[in-house]
Chain A
Amino acid sequence: MSAAELSRRGFLKGAGSLAVGFALVPALGLRDVAVAAPSGKGPKGSGPGHDRQLRVDPVTHAGADDAWLILTPGTTTIYSARVELGTGVQTALTQIVLEELRLGLRGVNFVQGDTILTPSASTTGSKSIQDGGPLLRQAAATAYQALLGLAAEDLRVAPNQLRAQDGEFVVIGSKRRVSYDHLLGKAHLLLTSDAMAPVVAPSNYRIVGQPVSRADLPGKAHATFAFVSDVVVPDMLHGRVIRPTGRNSTFSSITPDSLARAQAIPGFVKVVQRGNFVGVVATSEYAASVAAAPATGIVVEWEPGPALAPQETLDAALRDPDNHYLDYTDQNVGDFATAFAGAQRQLTAQYFSPFQMHGAMGASCAVADVRAKPDPVTGVQATIWSGTQNVYGLRGVLAALLFGSADDVEKVYVRYEEGSGCYGHNGADDVSADAALLSQAVGRPVRVQWTRQDENGWEPLGEAASHDLEAGITGGEIVAWHHRLYALTANSRPGANNPGTVLAGTLMGFLPNDLPNNSHDSSGRNSPVTYDFANVLTDAKLVRSFNTDPASPAKATAPLTYRFLRTTALRSLGGFSNSFANESFLDEIAHATGRDPLRLRLDSLSTDARAHAVVAALEPYWDKRPAGGHGIGAGIAFHQYEVAFTYVAAYVEVRVDPARGVIKVDRVVVAHDCGLVINPDGLRNQIEGNVIQGVSRALKEQVTYGPVNGTAHTGVTSVVWETSSFHPGPQYSVVRFDEVPKIEVILINRPDQPAWGAGEPTIGTIGGAIGNAVFAATGRRIRQLPMTPDVFLAAPTE
């Protein structure tokens, strides 16, 4: 049987779980593709094409040649759909694989997010360990069973006579042994992952549960690691984008004098303009930056468009029925309206959070190489090195953008390269489209490095949100609870093969996807509560981000006209604002009814032992808390991520200068139950990061927008980290080192339970816990983020 006669995918569909002696299609030119990889990355000689290997593929193939796992003598390579976003999943996923393979602690190649080599999945929603871990575990378990069979054959004993450890099999009670490498040197196995392959019992774990050091940190600490911004390909040029002055502004002209000036810049290559998309290409990053700057390069005239809803009245605009396109009920337990009306006492409050940024430390960057025609061997015409969270999603979008048809996905090869931490859907996809368009226009590879102003001004933001909270109280008990959310979308990720889902596409006139038909687990994430109240209603008024078709109110109309800033998934999505509202309001109820805030939560979580346990873990801290008043106080908050997964409770101590309104968070204690802990140190690192980013978002962060430089254009104006004499405009301020609290973490490990995610759950508890602590310290109830001095001083007192 020759390889050419048989499509491997076709073979797999018809095959059992084990095929011996099958020759792979020779590499499909993959080695050639790999040659273009930046140094230190890529398959490292273990990819498809080796003639001696044990390979485990997913049951369902998404890519052309995807695998989960390939073992060759001396080398193990994981092909991970889930990518390392700086959260340590590479290390944790590797631990899971090494455990099942009984390989001991050894280096493993990690190929990630690659539309040729890895299966399809996005890296979102704290799901890499939770969903990706079990898939890789089964792949490794499948490989192990195959190795066990080979070893039994080689040693002529029954498999149950063998014990495996650190890469070799030993016959129990004898000295006879065989190494994996020896077996692999003779084998050629192609398997599909077997969901029934037995896995290691948690009580026997030797690597899972250990604080294994991050695989990527040494390279990052020594500058040998290549971030996406370090990708260099031969013949590469540098591009910059020039965005409209305002959000709805349209291209008018490039002044001829300025074009001549740009053309005279040494290294200038080209100005590219397609609709409202404008960019420049040059031979160096500096030349591109000079050509793109209005003071030294091209000057683009933009026509102002309709203004955005003003920031000063944003809360009212979110509540304005003219901006709503759909009513949605997320959770409806019992009969809220009747119970609320019949309660002895009714409490209500309104909460609000502003737009916030991902604010990656490294401004977004990508490299694209778009050729005039497909490579005759690989069929690839466009290669994009991108920090995207979803290589397959981006592939479809770029196929449509570059080639006019999403059917041309095979022409587009997207390979993940790590950017700086993204915390959700940031500019990584947008800059990839920028690079692809510019590369296509000049016929050479182009690297695009956004400026800080590009990033802050145009990244897709975390959504602003308004909340109405209502509770009915009878006999001191909460008998009715209602949370109404006024929700902009938290999901505008690239997808549906629609070029309008990336910034360059909308600037060229494509429309974004329809707005979502619900807010469940997106902008409405954690608007429902875990508490066992008898009558609960959680609903939402979905807010249109842009003008939509009256006949089909989720559908954008052309020309695309934003009413609000573009919003998408930012760490925990709506969970940060929703839990701030829920947990603050519950604190209001506790104080209004004279109940202890911690015990009210315990009493309301009586049917969920794990929820109860994380709150109870804070009891020793709570019982020794500062008395409150005189500017010093403590607060707590709880939530269960997505009301379905990881449980978190946070205890916060604050110190407030009541005269100046300055809030300082001194101490945070987090109790955290995400089931089985894969890597306790990596988990702590994530939780600490959630706390600190949560403090930053609760106290400081707010996108400002409005008239740009006194013009008729409206857009984001907080385009630097710090207002200064050089940059007198508004700042997007994030936490400084001297604003970081002391952090303690209580991990509740449950080895018998599934491993849940930890990248986002904790952050949702921080805003509420701080607000509640501020109330304890000062008697002021903060119902608005961020809790700046102005907000504090304007807050109502009890």
Chain B
Amino acid sequence: MPTPLTRNLIVNGRRRKVSVPDDAEPLLYVLREQCDQRGPRFGCGVSQCGACTVIVNGTVTRSCVTDLNTVPDGASIQTLDGIGTEQRPHPLQQAFVDQQAGQCAFCINAMVMGALGWIESRIAEGNRAVPSRQEITDYLSGAAPGSTLNYLCRCGTHTRIVEAIHSGAAQMVRERVKR
């Protein structure tokens, strides 16, 4: 029999108490159905495209294969819905708009959230270099040190996505140096 589970999550800074009748329910569904999040999207359900990407306690996470029972109580979760607004966009969101880095743009949740977690962790490790286009390409191809996650775009917006992450990362680094 399935095991019910209640978790206290912090989604984009807001406390959310979520309950599922089966603790194996993926985080993706919990975020979409119980927390009203639109950023994490169902793409493949098997961690191969990135559409469902969120950040859990600072770690880039494919929410489609993350059972709720593996998410610690009190976990802090960031989603595309919460990292900025159109009035006060996150530098990566601003960069995606500036570079017009979207066609259907269904996938860009993946690249924004994946890049955000990746760049934040670089900065946290003291690496304040803006990642090169090659490093970004490697990261998004699952060929960067420490990440084998691949990110897929079907419309062919790849070149603009890499540019957007490059300029968004530069802004993130600038803001960090200012602090």
Contact = CB atoms under 8 A, between A and B. Distances in A.
Interface of A: 85-88, 213-214, 216-227, 229-230, 265-267, 284-287, 290, 359-363, 365, 418-421, 423, 449, 451-452, 681-682, 685-686, 688-693, 696, 720-722, 724, 726-727, 734-740, 742-743
A286 B20 contact: yes
19 contacts: A221-B93, A222-B86, A223-B39, A226-B38, A265-B22, A286-B20, A359-B154, A361-B51, A423-B154, A452-B45, A688-B156, A692-B156, A721-B44, A724-B48, A736-B140, A736-B142, A739-B141, A740-B158, A742-B159
A722 B150 contact: yes
Given A222-B85, A420-B104, A738 B143 contact: yes
Contacts of B29: 284-286
B157 interface: yes
Contact of A736 (B86, B96, B150, B160): B150
A214 B84 CA distance: 19
A360 B154 contact: yes
B113 to A, nearest CB: 10
Interface in B124-148: 136-138, 140-143
Nearest to B98: A213
Contacts of A220: 102, 105-106, 108
Interface residues of B, number: 61
State the 7 A-B residue pairs at the shortest beta-carbon distance, nearest first. A86-B104, A692-B156, A420-B106, A421-B104, A689-B156, A266-B21, A223-B39
Contacts of A721: 44, 48-49, 150, 152
Interface centre among B38, B107, B138, B157 (most CB of A within 10 A): B38
B73 interface: no
A233 to B, nearest CB: 13
Contacts, number: 193
A685 B157 CA distance: 7
A229 B42 contact: yes
A653 B44 CA distance: 33
Contact of A452 (B44, B100, B151): B44
B41 A737 contact: no
Nearest to A219: B86
A423 B153 CA distance: 13
Contacts of A691: 156
Interface of B: 2, 20-22, 25-26, 29, 32-33, 37-39, 41-46, 48-49, 51, 79-81, 84-86, 89, 93, 96-97, 100, 102-109, 112, 136-138, 140-143, 150-162
A215 B1 CA distance: 48
Given A221-B97, A266-B22, A689-B156, A216 B85 contact: no
A24 to B, nearest CB: 34
A693 B155 contact: yes
B143 to A, nearest CB: 6
Interface centre among A86, A222, A267, A693 (most CB of B within 10 A): A222
A688 B160 contact: yes
A422 to B, nearest CB: 8
Contacts of B155: 86, 421, 689, 693
B107 A420 contact: yes
A452 B46 contact: yes
A226 B37 CA distance: 11
A86 B43 contact: no
A220 B85 CA distance: 11
Contacts of B39: 223
Nearest to A452: B44
B13 to A, nearest CB: 15
A223 B109 contact: yes
A421 B154 contact: yes
A224 B107 CA distance: 14
Contacts of A287: 21-22
A692 B80 CA distance: 26
A435 B26 CA distance: 22
B161 to A, nearest CB: 8
Contacts of B108: 220-221
Nearest to A449: B42
